[in-house]
Chains A and B, each alone.
Chain A
Amino acid sequence: MSYADAALGLILLGLSAYLLFGGADFGAGLWHLLARRRPAERAVIEHAMGPLWEANHVWLIFVMVMTWTAFPPVFAAVMTAHWVPLSLAALGIVARGSTFVFSKAVPERRWYAWTFGVSSVVTPYCMGAVAAALATGRSDWLSPTGLYGGLLTTALCGYLAAVYLVWDARRLSPGSVGWFRARALAAGVAVGVLALPGAALFGVGSPLILLSAAAGLTSLVLLAGRRYLAVRVTAGLAVGAVLWGAAGLADLGLHDAAAHDAVLRIVFIALGAGAVILVPSLAWLYVLFQRGPARA
């Protein structure tokens, strides 16, 4: 395996983490928007996202930095060609993050929460549209392919969020479990119906389609059987397989664009050293806020 392959592997890992964690935060924003008159459900969402969303967001930074360091011409070409949707996504990130904390600080200002919800939908839509354009290599974000990618990505985020939030609701607001569970089931069916034909149409490798479909179906069964922790894993697998399938389609000419080995070697050393501190810290963060309620 060359250094460039390893760098690509890390970028895909980062993208997967961003989709599975950061994506779920966007999806949580979607449900927050739809739960306008449901304070209990909104509280679950705010509580679950609060300590985690900023760390989840850093996966995006990781992906961008790795891309411009390891494959600078690809980064430059993608950003040049898709600067409009990517700038919208960046502004969506600004709006989403700031209004989330503003709305927590000043709950009576309703438009903060509203902006939070809307930007949580717009941002993954724009990113998904660009991702579809990159994967298929023959369209831009306003084409039907872009539209499909945007809708699919937004739906994946919403699905993940609903699945994760069922477990959070169990702990934070047992009365809300049913609401999130119903949405997780509905979103699961919708995402499956949306993703699988598209995958077949674009020619995604069949093992990944099968993996995604199997994990998706298992998730529906687990949700129906109230196995709320296990379903987090299978739902993540189902969504991750969609990303890997799309990545398998993309032909970005990465090998000709790779940075020098001397650069990648130092980046890997830096990341390895950083991971020694980062991985246990992240694990602690997740565990700390998944445990029971706060001390009185």
Chain B
Amino acid sequence: MDSLQFLAEAATPADFAAARTQMAFTLGFHIILASIGIGLPAITLLAEWRSLRTGDPVYRELARRWMKAAGVLFAVGAVSGTVLSFEMGTLWPGFMDTYGQVFGTAFALEGIAFFIEAVFMGVYLYGWDRLSPVAHFVTGIPVVIAGLLSATFVVTVNSWMNQPRGFRLVDGEVTDVDPLAAMFNPATPVQAVHLLLASLMVCGFVVASVYAVALLRDRRAGRDDRYHRLGFAIPFTLGAVCAPLQVLVGDWAVRFVADNQPIKFAAMEGVEHTQAGVPFKFAVFEIPNALSLLLRFDAGATLRGLDSFPADVHPPAEVVRFAFEIMIVIGMALLALAAWWAFAWWRRRESLPWHPWFLRAAATAGVLAAIAMEAGWTVTEVGRQPWIVYGVMRTEEAVNPSEGLRFGLYVVLAVYAVLGAATISVLRRMRRPAPAERKELAG
């Protein structure tokens, strides 16, 4: 029978592609939620702290609103993160079979951090009326710390996939496992800092963009709503502070990749041939010798090109380069926007740049930051291909051999489409205050 024949085959190329697409899609979804899940409790606490210090009801209302949004986003983030844990096994059993024990410690630590985060999130969300204001504020602190730690532990696994350490491979079996060496591999510091800053930027700019839209509406209506101004200023400042730091860390990351994953670097920068005095290419522009100069501080330095590697270890270079350029362009745009904000702040604190063009740009900054996050993640992940563990295990060796993974992908895509739409719809609904609350705030 046709269908039995179809079942007898091992994972087809279509299933392999489906597994990769599903992982990329679900991780790409989770990474945005996780970013907001890390940053939102932090700005919520900031607002709550100001409310405690000043007794200002606007800060209190902001804290209460953000807390509620954080509650929804944390739940969706927690369950979408669980899907990833399942997918590690259902999609990539070969990877888990061989290497699960090498990086498992990081996930155990992540599990503890996430547990603590979930416990205190429960207390924080539902303790608003049960705890004293100060105690409530204090229970939020472990949420922020555990969120940052849990993200860091997860990133150590990804950095390990890029710089595998802490084991020896003998006849396909791992021996001499050193979980700490795996966790603290050379890529961990730069990847962790880069990702945490990116998360805070995504959260800051996304939340600020919501209020930028509200401020534009206020402008048109000739209103001045302090709630919207503060709701904008707190998250935007967080994003703006991280933006210049991220440019520096990004530079560190590029140099790290150039030294440790030269093929990824060649793909990112579009270096086709090994040569001396490599030009810096960006979109259609080309500056002679600039890449050599930027990277090695020597205009004549020789850099390895893609052609110095065998064809069967090339990543899809065009995708990597395109994603890299998107990330750079957005990073620079956000830096410029942050500079505008800082300049206005320095000039006159009271009249922050409520220029309509600033607000319009700020309204798009949230989406841009999220795109930059996805692009940067594409650079890391697609740039590592064809390896799941760089230089050691190919992605196709790791995939579940079962037939039919692509049907799983279709279901996942459908569920996540509804989930994403519902999350946005719920958050939009929550943004509208009940009439009674609105009156109370005004009065």
Which chain A residues have a beta carbon within 8 Å of chain B's beta carbons? 50-52, 54-55, 57-58, 60-62, 64-66, 68-70, 72-73, 75-80, 83-84, 86-87, 89-91, 93-102, 105-106, 112, 259-260, 262-263, 266-267, 270-271, 274, 277-278, 281-282, 284-285, 288-289, 294-295
Contacts and interface: CB of A to CB of B under 8 A. Distances in A.
A109 to B, nearest CB: 8
Residue among A96, A112, A262 having the largest count of chain B Cβ atoms under 10 Å: A262
B271 to A, nearest CB: 38
Interface in B390-420: 400-402, 404-405, 408, 411-412, 415, 419
Contacts of A100: 75
Given A65-B85, A69-B105, A91-B415, A83 B423 contact: no
Contact of A94 (B79, B109, B114, B402): B79
A286 B129 CA distance: 16
Main secondary structure of the interface of A (DSSP, over half): helix
B93 interface: yes
A276 B374 CA distance: 37
A90 B83 contact: yes
A78 B96 CA distance: 11
Given A91-B415, A93-B82, A61 B177 contact: no
B325 to A, nearest CB: 33
A270 B108 contact: yes
B101 A285 contact: no
B426 A284 contact: no
A76 B268 CA distance: 33
A260 B83 contact: no
A270 B402 contact: no
B90 A83 contact: yes
Nearest to A66: B108
B357 interface: no
A72 B96 contact: yes
A259 B440 CA distance: 60
13 contacts: A50-B125, A61-B111, A61-B114, A68-B89, A76-B93, A79-B88, A83-B90, A83-B402, A84-B404, A91-B415, A96-B79, A259-B177, A295-B130
A125 B235 CA distance: 43
B86 A90 contact: yes
A46 to B, nearest CB: 11
A99 B419 CA distance: 9
A125 B165 CA distance: 40
Contact of A281 (B94, B108, B119): B119
Given A262-B178, A284-B123, A72 B115 contact: no
Interface string B306-330: 0000000000000000000000000
Contact of B129 (A77, A90, A270, A295): A295
